[in-house]
């Protein structure tokens, strides 16, 4: 039963990822990425981490992709002509990625096949994550909050309202 | 119980598809979305290993990666908007002022 | 986890009940809205189609089904058809984690010569009792933005696009205050499961050693600010007045669903009323004690379950009426004022409330 769910949503994730990479229209690509993230959230539930599955949908599918869609729609990017990649770059890109992928799969099958899981329940709930976050990882936590502040200030400055149109040199 | 290497293989496939997107496309937004795909494949790897060894540190890592990816997406899109206002094109090959 | 026939059968019964209630919200609320607005505006309202206009919903449904279904000329056909489904998805799925009755142990019965419910399993009236309960609600509610954005963009109409962009910006801004306001409730309950939140609210506050008030979160002074913030953000999330920029009748023709007709428009309509129903159920669960009957200890039998489900329904119906009441009483806010108070008033208030509740818990007063 779990295998059926796994294979179905794995297929959904891979198919929509292919649509993202291969389709011309960036809006369709963005929506396919949302579907792929949703399928990945189901994967996280299968990995016994429902808290992170909900976070994945809230943060990635619900906030980051909305940002992508806003940018695409407000800049009217679906009407700009899609640049065509030169054939030599396409060929080299596909072969490099294929070689990389085959190597990665080989090493996974060779070294990363585990027989069994350890006994006992896996506590991946908010309580355990909260305690670990505020005891062992409190310094990175505070640093990430400062980093988010820097990101907000940077994004506001870069796309600010009093934008002077500089000439293309 | 689904064996861990199933998730690792899925993660490897998604990562490779992301690499294809970054290497072959010239549309800036599509490259950015392929990068997000790669980050999510890495998230899946972290969670698979966290469940394999019953450690909560993998989950904390995924938590931080999500927060930082959100910040990166915001700033990256702001940079992309600025580039678009300058050159009026989404082709990343046109961002070549520092080219020799 | 082992699934047996009892689990699957009970799940199907629960899903059928919840789905039946959700699908019936729209026709009933259409009538309530039209007669309620007529009452507030001192006019008769629909009174021709059946006694008190009760069959008006049937007439409306028939009209929607028989209208011609058009697709605008240069609209993106796939996305145009997909957008109402996106709007319906969060409305129908978030109700799955809300508990709507008291749990009780099923009695062992013999029907048609077969023994049922051996071992007295617990009937938990939640469709999905996930351990990250309320986060699932927020996750699926944040997908509601896509329905509006895609609908406005794919209609190939600049007024729809304006309505859609304004509404999506409003929805993502008020999602933050919604989530943070609920955090104070979760801090007090100590768990993310909605069943634990409701169990925490059974019991009493005792004032002056004599007066017993039910321990609902709305009666606890530390939660008053978060109740107001959550209520206002619920209005903003469901795109109801005073925050209805998505529709903005008389401003943007009909906002993001200008170009939609017949069943697709009916789907948007249904999605809006079902989202209202889900938000009312959430407010009732988080603040008004869910299925808890005030001043009465429900027994753990099926009679207690039915009574508690009835009280939950009463609370949800009351909140739905408040939605209609506010819509026809308060005028629409100007858009920049709306965004300003969303970010500068409600978000700081929600954060402040979280800090206050955390301080109270640390001091041991809660």
One domain for residues A54 and A18: yes
Say how far apart CA C45 and CA A39 lie, in whole Å. 47
Alpha helices in chain C (DSSP H): 5-40, 56-66, 77-93, 133-141, 144-154, 158-189, 194-200, 224-237, 262-286, 302-327, 335-341, 347-363
Q: How far is C139 from chain A (nearest CA, A)?
A: 5
What pLDDT is stored for residue A169 in this prediction?
Answer: 46
What is the ipTM for the molecules in this complex? 0.92
Only one residue has tokens 């019936």, namely C24
One domain for residues A92 and A30: no
* Residue A63: domain span: 1-83
One domain for residues A67 and A36: yes
| CB-based contact B71 A151, cutoff 8 Å | yes
One domain for residues A104 and A38: no
Domain count, chain A: 3
Q: Hey, is the C-beta of B96 within 8 angstroms of any chain A C-beta?
A: no
| Residues of chain B contacting residue A112, judged by C-beta atoms under 8 Å apart | 4-5, 8
In a domain, A169, yes or no: no
One domain for residues A66 and A143: no
What's the mean pLDDT in A53-73? 92
One domain for residues A47 and A76: yes
Would you call C343 exposed, middle or buried from its count of C-beta atoms within 10 A (0-12, 13-18, 19+)?
Answer: middle
pTM for the model stands at: 0.90
How far are the Cα atoms of A29, B72, C112, C244 from residue C333, in angstroms, in the given order? 35, 34, 62, 9
Determine B/C contact with 3+ CB pairs under 8 A as the test: no
C122 alpha-carbon distance from chain centroid: 26
Residue from the list B1, B13, B71 with its beta carbon closest to the beta carbon of A117? B1
One domain for residues A64 and A130: no
Q: Hey, is the C-beta of A78 within 8 angstroms of any chain B C-beta?
A: no
Say how far apart CA A126 and CA C191 lie, in whole Å. 8
Secondary element (H or E) of residue C114:
strand C114-116
| CB-based contact B54 A122, cutoff 8 Å | yes
Q: Hey, is the C-beta of A97 within 8 angstroms of any chain B C-beta?
A: yes
Q: From first to last of the 366 residues of chain C, give the pLDDT tens digit.
A: 556 777 888 889 999 999 999 999 888 998 998 888 898 998 888 888 888 888 888 888 888 888 888 888 888 888 888 888 888 888 888 899 999 988 888 888 777 777 777 777 788 888 888 888 899 999 988 888 888 888 888 888 777 887 888 888 899 999 999 999 999 999 999 889 999 999 998 888 888 878 888 888 888 888 999 999 999 999 998 888 788 776 665 455 666 777 777 788 888 888 889 999 999 999 999 999 888 888 888 777 888 889 999 999 999 999 999 999 998 898 888 888 989 999 999 999 999 999 999 999 999 887
Compute the residue count for chain A: 169
Domains belonging to chain B, first-starting first, are 4-91 (1.10.287.3510)
Determine A/C contact with 3+ CB pairs under 8 A as the test: yes
One domain for residues A45 and A20: yes
In a domain, A118, yes or no: no
Secondary structure tally for chain A: helices H, strands E: 7, 0
> Dmax of chain C from CA atoms?
71
How far are the Cα atoms of A37, A115, A130, C131, C180 from residue B48, in angstroms, in the given order? 16, 14, 20, 20, 30
Task: Name all chains with 3 or more CB-CB pairs below 8 Å to chain B.
Answer: A
Q: What is the CATH number of the domain that holds A18?
A: 1.20.120.1200
Say how far apart CA A148 and CA C59 lie, in whole Å. 53
One domain for residues A90 and A74: no
One domain for residues A14 and A55: yes
Residue from the list C130, C145, C192 with its beta carbon closest to the beta carbon of A66? C145
| CB-based contact A14 B20, cutoff 8 Å | no
| Residues of chain A contacting residue B43, judged by C-beta atoms under 8 Å apart | 40, 56
One domain for residues A60 and A102: no
Residue from the list A112, A118, A136 with its beta carbon closest to the beta carbon of B8? A112
Q: Hey, is the C-beta of A73 within 8 angstroms of any chain B C-beta?
A: no
One domain for residues A69 and A91: no
């Amino acid at each position: 039963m779990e295998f059926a769910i796994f294979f179905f949503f794995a297929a959904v994730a891979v198919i929509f990822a292919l649509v993202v990479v291969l389709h011309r229209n960036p809006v369709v690509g963005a929506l396919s990425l949302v579907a792929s993230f949703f399928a990945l959230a189901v994967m996280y539930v299968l990995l016994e981490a429902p808290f992170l599955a909900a976070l994945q949908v809230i943060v990635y599918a619900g906030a980051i992709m909305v940002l992508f869609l806003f940018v695409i729609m407000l800049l009217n990017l679906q009407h700009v002509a899609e640049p065509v990649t030169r054939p030599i770059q396409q060929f080299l890109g596909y072969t490099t990625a294929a070689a990389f992928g085959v190597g990665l799969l080989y090493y996974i099958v060779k070294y990363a096949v585990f027989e069994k899981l350890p006994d006992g329940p896996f506590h991946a709930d908010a309580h355990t994550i909260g305690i670990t976050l505020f005891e062992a990882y409190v310094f990175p936590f505070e640093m990430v909050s400062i980093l988010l502040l820097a990101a907000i200030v940077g994004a506001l400055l870069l796309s600010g309202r009093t934008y002077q149109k500089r000439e293309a040199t | 119980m689904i064996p861990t290497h199933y998730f690792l293989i899925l993660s490897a496939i998604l990562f490779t598809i992301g690499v294809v997107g970054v290497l072959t496309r010239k549309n800036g937004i599509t490259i950015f979305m392929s990068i997000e795909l790669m980050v999510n494949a890495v998230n899946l790897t972290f969670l698979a290993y966290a469940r394999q060894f019953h450690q909560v540190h993998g989950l904390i890592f995924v938590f931080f990666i999500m927060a930082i990816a959100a910040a990166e997406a915001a700033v990256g899109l702001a940079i992309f908007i600025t580039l678009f206002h300058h050159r009026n094109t989404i082709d990343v090959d046109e961002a070549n002022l520092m080219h020799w | 986890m082992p699934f047996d026939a009892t689990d699957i059968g009970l799940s199907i019964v629960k899903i059928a009940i919840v789905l039946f209630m959700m699908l019936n919200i729209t026709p009933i609320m259409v009538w309530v809205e039209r007669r309620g607005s007529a009452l507030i505006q001192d006019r008769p309202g629909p009174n021709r189609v059946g006694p008190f206009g009760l069959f008006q919903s049937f007439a409306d449904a028939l009209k929607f089904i028989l209208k011609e279904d058009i697709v605008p000329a240069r609209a993106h056909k796939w996305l145009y058809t997909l957008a109402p489904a996106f709007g319906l998805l969060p409305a129908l799925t978030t109700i799955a984690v809300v508990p709507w009755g008291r749990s009780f142990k099923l009695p062992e019965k013999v029907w048609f010569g077969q023994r049922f419910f051996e071992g007295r399993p617990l009937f938990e009236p939640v469709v999905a009792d996930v351990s990250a309960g309320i986060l699932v609600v927020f996750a699926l509610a944040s997908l509601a933005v896509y329905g509006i954005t895609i609908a406005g963009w794919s209609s190939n109409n600049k007024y729809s696009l304006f309505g859609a962009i304004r509404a999506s910006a409003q929805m993502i801004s008020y999602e933050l205050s919604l989530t943070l306001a609920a955090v104070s409730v979760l801090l007090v309950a100590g768990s993310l499961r909605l069943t634990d939140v409701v169990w925490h609210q059974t019991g009493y506050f005792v004032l002056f050693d004599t007066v017993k008030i039910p321990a609902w979160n709305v009666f606890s002074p530390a939660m008053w600010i978060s109740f107001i913030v959550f209520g206002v953000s619920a209005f903003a999330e469901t795109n109801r007045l005073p925050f209805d920029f998505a529709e903005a009748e008389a401003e943007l023709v009909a906002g993001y669903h200008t170009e939609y007709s017949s069943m697709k428009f009916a789907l948007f309509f249904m999605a809006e009323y079902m989202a209202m129903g889900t938000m009312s159920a959430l407010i009732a669960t988080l603040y008004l004690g869910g299925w808890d009957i005030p001043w009465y200890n429900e027994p753990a039998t099926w009679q207690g379950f039915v009574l508690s489900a009835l009280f939950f329904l009463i609370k949800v119906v009351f909140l739905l009426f408040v939605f209609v009441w506010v819509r026809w009483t308060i005028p629409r806010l100007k858009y920049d004022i709306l965004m300003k108070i969303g970010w500068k008033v409600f978000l700081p208030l929600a954060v402040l409330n979280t800090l206050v509740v955390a301080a109270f818990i640390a001091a041991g007063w809660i």
